[in-house]
Amino acid sequence: MKTETHTRIVDIIRKKNGSRPIELIKELGLSPQAIHRHLKSLVASGLIESRGRGPLTRYFIAGKPQLDRARRWQNSAAEPAENPEEFLCRTRDAFTARLPRLASFAEAGLKRDDVPLVVSAAGEVGNNCFDHNLGAWRDVPGCWFEAQATGGRLWICIADRGQGVLRTLARADPALADEQAALTAAFERIISGRAPENRGNGLKFVRSVVGAGENRGLACRSGAGVVDYGRLGPECRAELAGFSEKSEGTITLILWSFA
């Protein structure tokens, strides 16, 4: 049964993007025993989930991705002092080697028939980071590649600190007016910044994959340009609000529901 205290706990966790029990104890003025009882009930109801162990345990809203590290990495004006190698693929080979790890989410509930589609879609997005930024990285070469399962959903975050879609595609079509037009063209037209090579179908394939099922969505930001596709695309777009319009490069979120 949902209580007023449950509502207050969920609101705090949502506003702070995660909270530790000790923080809830101080803010609500309840005993540790009462807080842990409420947290246990909320976890059982599927509203929140815990991450970490012991005193480092934090509680988050179930089904929402934790993108703080990716935001700091992609939004920074200079090379971040902290570059977690766990998520940073500095070369295409490193990215390709990590792609098969997405299959492990079948153990968390991802349908096995969906695994090849998830891997292919993520692979196309990640490959674009390398294809269009060779020799043009702002500072840190490679892409951020992070995947997390929460609340029966798989979130995949792929970002780069490259030159952005407009600068890339303007070589093929100088008439592109702005970042929004360039990003829309990247997903909806056969166009490539590597013309005259016969390329430009990769992101169209990704769009078709996420649009082929009700349990999928994607959103991408490059500068001030934002697009979303698939039924869950608007949720991905909402999560991109924390990524700066002024940052160069691209950030893509893919969302895949297990249900």
- Report the pLDDT value the prediction gives residue 176, as an integer from 0 to 100: 92
For 4-61, CATH number out of 1.10.10.10, 3.40.50.920, 3.30.450.20, 3.20.20.150 equals: 1.10.10.10
User: For residue 160, which of 195, 191, 132, 200 has the smallest C-alpha distance?
Assistant: 132
pLDDT over 70 at 82, yes or no? no
3-state per-residue secondary structure call for 141-197 = CCEEEEEEEECCEEEEEEEECCCCHHHHHCCCCCCCCCHHHHHHHHHHCCCCCCCCC
Task: Read off the pLDDT band of 79 (50, 70, 90).
Answer: low
Task: Read off the pLDDT band of 107 (50, 70, 90).
Answer: very high
How far apart (Å, rounded) are the C-alpha atoms in residues 54 and 226?
A: 39
How far apart (Å, rounded) are the C-alpha atoms in residues 83 and 69?
A: 9
Q: Could you tell me the two tokens for 224?
A: 């001030």
Sheet of strand 225-229: strand arrangement: 88-89, 143-150, 153-160, 250-257, 216-222, 225-229
- Report the pLDDT value the prediction gives residue 196, as an integer from 0 to 100: 47
Task: Read off the pLDDT band of 136 (50, 70, 90).
Answer: confident
Contact at 8 Å (CB) between 115 and 103?
A: yes
pTM of the shown model: 0.84
The DSSP code sequence of 27-87 is HHT--HHHHHHHHHHHHHHTSEEEES-GGG-EEEETT----HHHHHHHH-SS--S---TTT
pLDDT over 70 at 99, yes or no? yes
Contact at 8 Å (CB) between 253 and 71?
A: no
Domain ranges of the chain: 4-61, 68-257
Q: How does pLDDT run across 2-54, given as a tens digit for each residue?
A: 588 999 999 999 888 889 999 999 999 999 999 999 999 999 988 998 888 88
pLDDT over 80 at 195, yes or no? no
How far apart (Å, rounded) are the C-alpha atoms in residues 134 and 129?
A: 9
Render the burial of 191-213: b for 16+ CB within 10 Å, e for the rest: bbbeeeeeebebbbebbebbeeb
Q: Which fold has domain 68-257?
A: Heat Shock Protein 90 (3.30.565)
Overall average pLDDT of the 46-70 stretch: 87
Helix (H) or strand (E) holding 227: strand 225-229
